[in-house]
Chain A
Amino acid sequence: MKPPPFEYVAAHSVEEALDVLVTHGWDAKVLAGGQSLIPTLNFRLAAPAILVDLNPVSELAFIEANGMLRIGAMTRQRTLERDETIARLAPLITAAMPHVAHPQIRTRGTIGGSLAHCDPAAELPAVCLALDATLVARSQRGERAIPARDFFFGLFSTALEPDELLTEIRIPPMPPNTRYAFREVARRHGDFALAGVALTLQLDEAGRIRAPRVALFGVHDAALLSESAMRLLDGAAPSEALVREAAEAVAHDIEPSSDIHASAAYRTHLAKVLTARALRDALGDALGHATE
């Protein structure tokens, strides 16, 4: 479990990193927290000729809020977990972070690394979908803003081109009547989820659900929004029956795979159970009123 030989370049700016990427294309790999990349190298599942280390690029580690919440790609997951601005403006992130691996790993792992890596069972892609985030990619050709729903293609595959760097994540402000919830089950605390749900929704003045965003992970080849559940929820009055119906509906949108930890059928079942629980968490009192 030692990596094959590679060349190493420490980038000190985004430009320097982009230079290497444009010269080496697919032969180069960006090194962020290394928590997914280094095991891949040690197992000799990948053999990039050159590693571009983003750790010295301090301009990519930031959290800023002026209207839009902006998070630099090299922001550590542990920072996201503890940051007060994030807790205020995007508490869904705060709720999700303790489920991402273990403190030691979060201390190294970055938000950009998790999104670019695109593990189907990772939390952060689903959180970005539920928050309607935009991911910003830069190359020497320029900058692109990619909506989260167009970013995650499938297993370890994203909209990023080989010459592009993910530089920041933009999260729109949440309207005041926004509700959110996060639920997952993993075999052990800190494991990748068997299934999980991150969702946001708003309640209008009449108490109806608006703009629901139900994102699932661990149950498809990448995190995804359940359009079927969202169609049912949008404009509906909260009720236990609605919760159950929406939970059932997620099954239409997902195609879980079977592995040694869970069969596809069990994962589908978990997706439904967790969707129902997350909706109950989010609706809370609203649900209580509706059922009375």
Chain B
Amino acid sequence: MTARETRYFGKPVRRNEDPKLLTGRALFVDDVDLPGMLHAAFYRSPYAHARIRAIDVSAAKAMPGVVAVYTAEDLGDYWQPGPLLVPPPPVHKMPVFNKRTQVPLAKEKVRFVGEPIVLVVAESRYIAEDALEQIDVAFEPLPAVVDVEAALAPDAPLVHEDAGTNIAAHVIQEKGNWEEALAAADVVIERRFVYDHGHAAPMETRGIVAHWDARMQTLTVWDTTQAPIPIRNGLAGMLGLSEHQVRVIAPFIGGGFGPKIMMFYQEEVLIPWASMQLARPIKWIEDRRENFLAMTQERYQIHDAKIALTRDGKILGVWDSFLHDTGAYIPYGLTVPLNAQCTLLGPYVVPHYYSEFKAVFTTKAIVTPYRGAGRQHGVFVMERLLDIAARELGLDRTEIRRKNFIPPDAFPWDNEIIYQDFAPLVYDSGNYEPALDKAMEMIGYRRFLEEEKARYRAEGRHVGLGIVAYVEGTGIGPYEGARVQVQPNGKVIVATGVGTQGQGHFTSFAQVVAEQLGVPVEDITVVTGDTAEFHWGTGTFASRGAVVAGSAIYEAAKAVREKVLRMASEELEVSPDDLELADGNVFVRGAPDRALRLGDLAIAANPLRGAVAPDTEPGLEATRYFGPPRGATASGVHAMLLEVDPETGFVRILKYVVVHDCGTVINPLIVEGQIHGGVAQGIGNAFYEKIVYDEHGQLLTASFMDYLVPTAMEVPPMEVAHVETPSPWNPLGAKGVGEAGAIPVGPLFAQALEDAFDNAFEVTEIPLSPQQVWALVHGSKEKQS
């Protein structure tokens, strides 16, 4: 497209939404305040695993200010296990899949601490919480299932007795023949890796306001969901309403990161239902404790992995078998472990691949995607294997990567296994060496190794360098849509179905339209996440907003542009080829005074008298849809310098560099913001954040005192550079960037840490902590002496 040379597309335009957000005038779910509104609170299981013998809510019901108390029994037929949000794709082999999904309120058994058992609706949240203390549940505690390996022991207690096993899924995917790789190998490296990813900890917790208007017979739901349209469709189905009776609004949302697209959360099923029962609006705002206990998380995988190589460092094959902790239920299917399985292959040519995993039920919170969504786990395994291989083969760590990169002329590149989007894992485009070169230059790779490292060491300082590569599958289907309309005042409205959680959609999407229509970005209003405005689409996940919704918006804007040109060419009696659009006008090239305002054309396109010609539509408006054949694969290289205090195990990041390729960049300011945020979460994952359950399945990290998200004090400034390899599979050439920053930070930390101590020890586990670093340093010293 020609858009790239022009005014709006690709420019660091300041965000349209920021004045509203920064001055506190944006609407969040908790800002919704309706007359007569009630407040909800949940009695949640204090046990990880227990049978429910009896529930006594009589004292709670009798409290002044309590309006209703509901248990599973009270739900009648409405009580149903949730849908399987993502069924398993057609992977090569799947001997086991036990579909077990969450229930609105636990009935006979609880399966994780925080699972809701009773819903209380009261005049205030204070009263509702007081009432929770009056509820008496008789539990018969059962042994918790915490460790994934122990869960597979023959005598292990079962999370779902009827499944007869704690295996939720067993999947095998293969490319080529690993045995061949093994036979040809000069070197085989084998290690066990544990990668634990944590809690998304969005600044805004979950929240729902549901309002059943008995006169209008309409249900309006404000929800912190990332997928308002599927929530509307599902709610209508469950509640026996027609879709047009239900309006779901996902207003401004303070961070989603994946866990806000779980369909359906128990609360999402219950609050609208209760509002219909009571014919009053009800608000439920999750508190931080509930968020830690009951919002979905990501957790750990244990990988037993092998890599086979030739003497000169060419990868012949990879073998991997891993266990994945899926928690109490598996509503999101295989997305997270499949992402781990697929993303492990990275930017490398891996001729033979055998990968097998078991997803395991445990009595812990449900696992669903969180920024990176399993990609971290896979990237950690591959990058670590390459580091260890380089060491063993006496190769430079950047050389072994360079040697195995998929060459730029080999795209589209087929990895011959099935990805989370049900399609074969085929990379659209990529060019990995320039990114590696650029990152090496920015971090000062040679200079550090040849001079600086020794100089630091002479000063008694331990500084290490890390440099790792990764790919990110982004922008998957099925589709999104958009409607673009020029209004009589010349301003433009864009409506699309995806929800927004801070990504800058109001600006990036406006830039796409501005480019086509020549209307300034600030005159373009983007509406997202309101089913009354647009009701086709799926949601914001898998780094797909810009790619999929962005492309639909592009197509719709292009259609409007064509209509503008057609109308103007008739009116001005020139060929459409001689027309240009700028500053809200369409004019004859070279004769800017022969111009028409787009607003006037919009009025003319919607006449009160006369006729709209057959086969045309009124208004300067178009609706278009876009479904990419396959995802777009972004990629990148991160590098950093890390200083370690050998006595305490504390670390300091001296320099952090990101070279990133997300195809065509719509707005570099927004792309860099996405990367900064991702890296911050990656640093949290690598060194600060860890979800800890004790042996009874009690969550020990249920507040920000114990779950340590890094702050501005821990996150260093970053230098970001772009490489642009446009995707051939969407009209913008865009690739997603939502998760890129977060993905490779674990292996980066591991490598830099080892480097700071000249590889005196090996890091095979993430997250790390000062204590672990100290133990590694201390342990290696003891070994030496």
A and B are interacting partners: yes
A1 at the interface (CB under 8 A from B): yes
- The answer to whether B771 and A188 touch across the interface, beta carbons within 8 angstroms, is no
Determine the distance from Cα of A263 to Cα of B771 in the docked complex, in whole angstroms. 8
CB within 8 Å for A189 and B713 given contacts A260-B706, A270-B648, A273-B647: yes
B714 at the interface (CB under 8 A from A): yes
- The answer to whether A187 and B770 touch across the interface, beta carbons within 8 angstroms, is yes
| A44 surroundings in chain B (CB, below 8 A) | 129, 133
**697-716 of chain B: CB within 8 A of chain A:** 700-701, 705-706, 708, 710-711, 713-714
CB within 8 Å for A190 and B711 given contacts A185-B770, A273-B647: yes
CB within 8 Å for A187 and B688 given contacts A1-B289, A262-B771, A270-B648: yes
**106-149 of chain B: CB within 8 A of chain A:** 125-126, 129-130, 133
Chain A 250-264, CB-CB to B under 8 Å as 1, else 0, gives 000000000011110
| A261 surroundings in chain B (CB, below 8 A) | 706, 769, 771
Q: Who on chain A is nearest to B687 by CB?
A: A187
- The answer to whether B710 and A2 touch across the interface, beta carbons within 8 angstroms, is no
Determine the distance from Cα of A188 to Cα of B712 in the docked complex, in whole angstroms. 10
Determine the distance from Cα of A185 to Cα of B647 in the docked complex, in whole angstroms. 12
Determine the distance from Cα of A51 to Cα of B145 in the docked complex, in whole angstroms. 42
* Chain B min CB distance to A2 (Å): 5
- The answer to whether A189 and B708 touch across the interface, beta carbons within 8 angstroms, is no
- The answer to whether A188 and B648 touch across the interface, beta carbons within 8 angstroms, is no
CB within 8 Å for A2 and B126 given contacts A189-B711, A189-B713, A270-B648: yes
Chain B 278-311, CB-CB to A under 8 Å as 1, else 0, gives 0000000001110000000000000000000000
Chain B interface residue count: which class?
Answer: 20 to 34
Q: Who on chain A is nearest to B712 by CB?
A: A189
Q: Which of A1, A187, A189, A260 has a CB less than 8 Å from the CB of B287?
A: A1
- The answer to whether A190 and B713 touch across the interface, beta carbons within 8 angstroms, is yes
Chain A 168-195, CB-CB to B under 8 Å as 1, else 0, gives 0000000000000000010111111010
- The answer to whether B708 and A191 touch across the interface, beta carbons within 8 angstroms, is yes
- The answer to whether B711 and A188 touch across the interface, beta carbons within 8 angstroms, is yes
A4 at the interface (CB under 8 A from B): yes
B653 at the interface (CB under 8 A from A): no
B13 at the interface (CB under 8 A from A): no
Determine the distance from Cα of A269 to Cα of B773 in the docked complex, in whole angstroms. 13
Determine the distance from Cα of A270 to Cα of B771 in the docked complex, in whole angstroms. 10
| B648 surroundings in chain A (CB, below 8 A) | 185, 270, 273
* Chain B min CB distance to A217 (Å): 16
Determine the distance from Cα of A189 to Cα of B709 in the docked complex, in whole angstroms. 11
| B714 surroundings in chain A (CB, below 8 A) | 188-189
Determine the distance from Cα of A220 to Cα of B775 in the docked complex, in whole angstroms. 22
| B770 surroundings in chain A (CB, below 8 A) | 185, 187, 194, 262
A5 at the interface (CB under 8 A from B): yes
**645-692 of chain B: CB within 8 A of chain A:** 647-648, 650, 688, 690, 692
| B688 surroundings in chain A (CB, below 8 A) | 187-188
| A153 surroundings in chain B (CB, below 8 A) | none
B536 at the interface (CB under 8 A from A): no
- The answer to whether B129 and A188 touch across the interface, beta carbons within 8 angstroms, is no
A43 at the interface (CB under 8 A from B): yes
Please report whether the interface of chain A is mostly helix, strand, loop or mixed according to DSSP. loop
Q: Which of A4, A191, A273 has a CB less than 8 Å from the CB of B130?
A: A4
- The answer to whether A5 and B130 touch across the interface, beta carbons within 8 angstroms, is yes
Determine the distance from Cα of A3 to Cα of B127 in the docked complex, in whole angstroms. 10
| A43 surroundings in chain B (CB, below 8 A) | 289
Determine the distance from Cα of A44 to Cα of B705 in the docked complex, in whole angstroms. 16
B774 at the interface (CB under 8 A from A): yes
- The answer to whether A185 and B650 touch across the interface, beta carbons within 8 angstroms, is yes
* Chain B min CB distance to A195 (Å): 9
* Chain B min CB distance to A161 (Å): 29
Determine the distance from Cα of A153 to Cα of B648 in the docked complex, in whole angstroms. 29
Q: Who on chain A is nearest to B774 by CB?
A: A266
Q: Who on chain B is nearest to A189 by CB?
A: B713
Q: Which of B288, B650, B701, B774 has a CB less than 8 Å from the CB of A260?
A: B701
Q: Which of A2, A188, A263 has a CB less than 8 Å from the CB of B708?
A: A188
Q: Which of B288, B701, B710, B711 has a CB less than 8 Å from the CB of A1?
A: B288
Chain B 615-657, CB-CB to A under 8 Å as 1, else 0, gives 0000000000000000000000000000000011010000000
* Chain B min CB distance to A58 (Å): 31
* Chain B min CB distance to A144 (Å): 33
* Chain B min CB distance to A197 (Å): 13
**4-55 of chain A: CB within 8 A of chain B:** 4-5, 43-44
* Chain B min CB distance to A188 (Å): 6
| B711 surroundings in chain A (CB, below 8 A) | 188-190
Chain A 143-175, CB-CB to B under 8 Å as 1, else 0, gives 000000000000000000000000000000000
| A185 surroundings in chain B (CB, below 8 A) | 648, 650, 770
Q: Who on chain A is nearest to B132 by CB?
A: A44
Q: Which of A187, A260, A269 has a CB less than 8 Å from the CB of B700?
A: A260
Determine the distance from Cα of A5 to Cα of B130 in the docked complex, in whole angstroms. 8
Q: Who on chain B is nearest to A47 by CB?
A: B133
- The answer to whether B774 and A2 touch across the interface, beta carbons within 8 angstroms, is no
Chain A 191-219, CB-CB to B under 8 Å as 1, else 0, gives 11010000000000000000000000000
Q: Who on chain A is nearest to B701 by CB?
A: A260
Determine the distance from Cα of A5 to Cα of B125 in the docked complex, in whole angstroms. 12
| B708 surroundings in chain A (CB, below 8 A) | 187-188, 191
Determine the distance from Cα of A269 to Cα of B775 in the docked complex, in whole angstroms. 11
**726-765 of chain B: CB within 8 A of chain A:** none
Determine the distance from Cα of A109 to Cα of B479 in the docked complex, in whole angstroms. 52
| B289 surroundings in chain A (CB, below 8 A) | 1, 43
* Chain B min CB distance to A106 (Å): 15
| B125 surroundings in chain A (CB, below 8 A) | 2
- The answer to whether A2 and B650 touch across the interface, beta carbons within 8 angstroms, is no
Chain B 550-567, CB-CB to A under 8 Å as 1, else 0, gives 000000000000000000
| B647 surroundings in chain A (CB, below 8 A) | 273
**265-285 of chain A: CB within 8 A of chain B:** 266, 269-270, 273
Chain B 60-84, CB-CB to A under 8 Å as 1, else 0, gives 0000000000000000000000000
Determine the distance from Cα of A188 to Cα of B708 in the docked complex, in whole angstroms. 8
Determine the distance from Cα of A194 to Cα of B650 in the docked complex, in whole angstroms. 12
Chain B 186-202, CB-CB to A under 8 Å as 1, else 0, gives 00000000000000000
| A260 surroundings in chain B (CB, below 8 A) | 690, 692, 700-701, 706
Determine the distance from Cα of A109 to Cα of B58 in the docked complex, in whole angstroms. 41
Determine the distance from Cα of A1 to Cα of B130 in the docked complex, in whole angstroms. 10
| A194 surroundings in chain B (CB, below 8 A) | 770
Determine the distance from Cα of A172 to Cα of B647 in the docked complex, in whole angstroms. 35
| B133 surroundings in chain A (CB, below 8 A) | 4, 44
Determine the distance from Cα of A259 to Cα of B14 in the docked complex, in whole angstroms. 45
| B287 surroundings in chain A (CB, below 8 A) | 1
| B690 surroundings in chain A (CB, below 8 A) | 260
Determine the distance from Cα of A82 to Cα of B714 in the docked complex, in whole angstroms. 24
| A1 surroundings in chain B (CB, below 8 A) | 129, 287-289
| A266 surroundings in chain B (CB, below 8 A) | 771, 774-775
- The answer to whether A269 and B129 touch across the interface, beta carbons within 8 angstroms, is no
Find the residue from A44, A188, A194 having the highest chain B CB count within 10 A: A188
* Chain B min CB distance to A43 (Å): 7
| B771 surroundings in chain A (CB, below 8 A) | 261-263, 266
| A189 surroundings in chain B (CB, below 8 A) | 711, 713-714
| A3 surroundings in chain B (CB, below 8 A) | 126
Q: Who on chain A is nearest to B702 by CB?
A: A43
CB within 8 Å for A2 and B129 given contacts A188-B711, A260-B706: yes
Known: A192-B705, A263-B771. 7 other contacts (CB 8 A): A1-B287, A3-B126, A4-B133, A188-B711, A190-B713, A262-B771, A270-B648
29 CB contacts below 8 A, A to B, read: A1-B129, A1-B288, A1-B289, A2-B125, A4-B130, A43-B289, A185-B650, A187-B708, A187-B769, A187-B770, A188-B688, A188-B710, A188-B711, A188-B713, A188-B714, A189-B711, A189-B714, A190-B713, A260-B690, A260-B700, A260-B701, A260-B706, A261-B706, A261-B769, A262-B770, A262-B771, A266-B774, A266-B775, A273-B648
Q: Which 4 A-B pairs have the closest CB atoms?
A: A189-B713, A1-B287, A266-B771, A2-B126
